[in-house]
Each structure stands twice: as structure tokens, then as C-alpha cells.
Structure 1
Amino acid sequence: MINQSDSDYLETKEIVLGQQSVHPRYQRLIDWIELTYQRRPINIDVDRVGPCWETRLSVIFCTEAEVGTFEDDSGINFNKSIQASIAAEHERLEPWYAKFSLRQKRDALVIFTSFEKVARCDVFDQVKEDALLGAVLKVFPDIWCVKKMLSYPIIFFETDREIKGLDSGKKAEVRDAVGSLIADLDFCGCFADDVFIGFDSKENFEKSYQSNWFYYSRDH
């Protein structure tokens, strides 16, 4: 899952909200993963990718921290041994899938994804820009602007010097103000203890990004 319009995200969201249950076909594999790795997925999505329609098995956990336990020592790639074990168990439980593969000797591609990561974007997307700006201006009335990123806001002051002089108490105050806007929309509690707010300056935006929001958004 990449964004909130993806079908696997929408299905998992309904599961989290109690509007539907995990498909019975995947319940046994979820139970096996929990028993074997002490982490319980909230959903599993299986689809076909590539020119040979190979099976891709997405194991969906709630948090990014849970996904991290399935990475190798590099912290970049998934643990190949775990991927192979889950693929083998999936084939054992659902051998009929192999009948539809044009490359039957190749294991299913197993990936691990975080529901919370996309849910944060979903929730924050619902925060109205005027409400966000109003909440920030009550704490910092002299800012340049507020920019909504995918899952958090960045507050822009005029100069770098203003950023360096920010009071920690004011930072906490604006975090609480923004958090109160998010709270009523946060259907899964993904912002409960982690409302991130970025701080930057117009000076840096002009100097480092040539006043171009596209370039800026790529880095944030």
C-alpha cells in the first residue's frame, strides 16, 4: 500500500474500523505468522504483479516498528529467510495459487507494509488548511506560512535566526494545538503520541530550493 486510495489500504481500514473481517482464506496464515514471529498482521493482501503475473503477498501490520522486525541487519531490505518461510507456508495453505502462475518455481514475493504510515496521511489530509493556519497563528502570529506535507505541517518563519530562537514551550503549545485538530479525525490513534511539526524559514526555502515547492516537497 502506498496511498489512501489503494484497495488494500481501503480494505484494511474497514477491518480496523470493524466494518468487515479479514478474509477467511488468510486467517490461517495470519495465525501462523503470529505464532512463528510473535507479531500479528491486521490483514493480508494477495495480488499479481509483473508480466508473468507473479504472486505478491503483502503482510500488513499496524505500525512501522512491527514492519522493522522483519528487516535484515541492514535495516533496508526484508529478511530473505523470513520471506521464504512465509511464502512456503502460504503455498502450503493455498496450493491452488500455484496453478495460475506462469513461473511456478518462483516463490511468491512477500513484502511487509505499515497501515499506520498511510493512515497518518489519510487522517492529516482531512485537516482543513484554514483551521490549521488558525491554530498555528494563535501561537505564532508572525510566521510566513504553514505548508501541509503528506502527514505533518511545516511552519515557516521569515528567517533562520527565528528558528534558532524558538522557545521549547511554544513548540509544545503549537504541537498541542495541531494535535487537537487531528484528534477528532484520528480513527486509529496513529497520532496519539506522535504529532510531528516541522519548522523552517522563508530564507532557507529561497536559498536552498529556489522558492520551488516541488523541489521542497521531494525532500520532505
Structure 2
Amino acid sequence: MIFTSDKDYKSTKKIKQGISKIKEEFEPLAKWIDQKYEVKTLNIIFDYIKNNKSHPRLQICLEHARDKGKFMNNKTYNFHKRKQKEIAEKFREVKSNYEVENKPNWIKKILGFTYKTNNLYVYFTDFESIAKIEANESIPEAEIKKLKSDLNNQEIWEIAKAFSGVTFFLYTDEQLKRYQDSEIHKKWSEQYFDLLKDCDEFKYFKKDYFSVYLDSKENFDTNYDSNWYYYYK
């Protein structure tokens, strides 16, 4: 679950919206994760890395970015190995119990509807981060152009949204320094937030913590060869 177009994101979004539910066989594991680690699990997805049956993986789709942070190793910025192992072991237990309670399941085995747990790779994603990107990308370009027109400030070169944020570009570095953390900067943040909140279906953006980024065309031209790909790379 990396992009708003990912099927995993779309299926998890339906769960968040109340349109669908997490698969029945994953409910006990989700409840266990939530209780043990004090997080909110929205969805659990099982598949195989590159469709290789020898490399099963389990995606734990958490709701919030702070929840995902609980499964990251602060020293290495990789997933926490102990917690990956704990969840893999619990998944094997839950899977075994589910199969016993739901016998006969020979039809599932014949058709291949079983979850392989040997060499299982557990990883974590969060719904909030992608939902924020979707909200920001949903602001119509016409609204961005109107905002720029309404601001009527000749020192603004461009308003460029990307991912879950937006950058107001001044023309020069001198202008950038003058506006940074000014009252006008705060006002711009409030005005852009007014556009953003209408597209933020799940209200993940908080006004008190939202601020537009400031940069300059001078920096864009000098250090990024006037190239958007290099800038956002």
C-alpha cells in the first residue's frame, strides 16, 4: 500500500468507510495486534512476493502513521524484527485454530485457498499517510489557480502541491527568508487548509499542525535545473 491507486489501499478504504469488513479469518489476529501493541489495525492482507509461493507475506495495514511507527526500529529505520516474529507466530496459531474450527476445509486445500506460513514476511503500512495524499491530490487545479489569483501577490511564482503537502514558491531566496514563519505565511497555510479540509474525507489533517512549505524559484532553478522530477526525487 504505497499509492492511492493500489488495490490494497482501495480495499482498506472500503473497510474504513464501513462498506466492507476485514476478512473473518484475520479478525482474531487484528484484535490481538491492537490489544498487544495499542494500535488500530484496519486490514490484513496475505499474498506472495512476486507471486512466488515460497515467499508468503502478510501486510498489517494500520490506520495511523504513529501506529506504524511502533513497529519501526528507531536505530535502523527498518521493521522491528522481534515484533515481526511475534506476529508471524501468532498468525500461525490463529490460522491453525481457524482451520480446526471451520472443518471440513478440504475444498479450500484442493483449490489452494490456504495460507502458507513458512518463511512468512510480515510488514507494516499505514492508511492515514496514503489518505492524506489522496485528499491533497483531490484539490482541483482550478481551485489552486483561484487561490493564487485571490492572494494577488506578485512575489508568488507558483503554488505546487505534491504528495500530502504543498509548496508556495517565491521568486527569490531573499523573498523566501522574508516570508518564512511570518504572519502572511500562517495566513497562506490557513487559506490552503480551507481547500484541503473539503477533500479530507477522514479528517486526518489538523489545522493546528498544518503549514504550507515555502521555497524559491531561485533555488528550483539553481539547484534542481528547473526540473520537477529532480526537485521531488
Cα distance between partner residues in 1 of 2:126 and 2:205: 14
- Give yes or no for the alignment of 1:147 onto 2:160: yes
Report the counterpart of residue 207 of structure 1 in structure 2: 222
Equivalent pairs: percent with the same residue? 28
Cα distance between partner residues in 1 of 2:175 and 2:124: 41
Cα distance between partner residues in 1 of 2:35 and 2:115: 29
Partner letter of residue 26 of structure 1?
A: F
Report the counterpart of residue 114 of structure 1 in structure 2: 126
58-67 vs 47-56, which deviates more? 47-56
189-198 vs 53-62, which deviates more? 189-198
- Report Cα offsets for 1:62-81 as digits up to 9, x if no partner: 21111111112315011111
- Superposition CA RMSD, Å: 2.0
Deviation at 1:175, TM superposition (A): 0.9
Report the counterpart of residue 185 of structure 1 in structure 2: 199
**Contact kept in structure 1, 2:47 and 2:56, CA below 8 Å:** yes
Deviation at 1:137, TM superposition (A): 4.0
Partner letter of residue 202 of structure 1?
A: K
Report the counterpart of residue 176 of structure 1 in structure 2: 190
Structure 1, unaligned stretches of length 5 or more? Answer: none
- Give yes or no for the alignment of 1:131 onto 2:146: no
- Give yes or no for the alignment of 1:163 onto 2:176: yes
Does the C-alpha gap of structure 1 residues 119 and 75 become closer, same or farther in structure 2, counting only changes over 3 Å? farther
Normalising by structure 2, we get a TM-score of 0.85
Deviation at 1:162, TM superposition (A): 0.3
Deviation at 1:35, TM superposition (A): 2.0
**Contact kept in structure 2, 1:123 and 1:185, CA below 8 Å:** yes
Report the counterpart of residue 69 of structure 1 in structure 2: 70
Report the counterpart of residue 6 of structure 1 in structure 2: 6
Partner letter of residue 39 of structure 2?
A: R
Partner letter of residue 38 of structure 1?
A: E
Cα distance between partner residues in 2 of 1:217 and 1:51: 31
Q: Which has the larger radius of gyration?
A: 2
Structure 2, unaligned stretches of length 5 or more? Answer: 100-111
Aligned residues: 215
Report the counterpart of residue 90 of structure 1 in structure 2: 91
**Contact kept in structure 2, 1:62 and 1:116, CA below 8 Å:** yes
**Contact kept in structure 2, 1:56 and 1:110, CA below 8 Å:** yes
Deviation at 1:196, TM superposition (A): 3.6
Does the C-alpha gap of structure 1 residues 205 and 66 become closer, same or farther in structure 2, counting only changes over 3 Å? same
134-143 vs 147-156, which deviates more? 134-143
Cα distance between partner residues in 1 of 2:63 and 2:184: 32
Normalising by structure 1, we get a TM-score of 0.90
Report the counterpart of residue 197 of structure 1 in structure 2: 212
**Contact kept in structure 2, 1:155 and 1:197, CA below 8 Å:** yes
Cα distance between partner residues in 1 of 2:196 and 2:174: 29
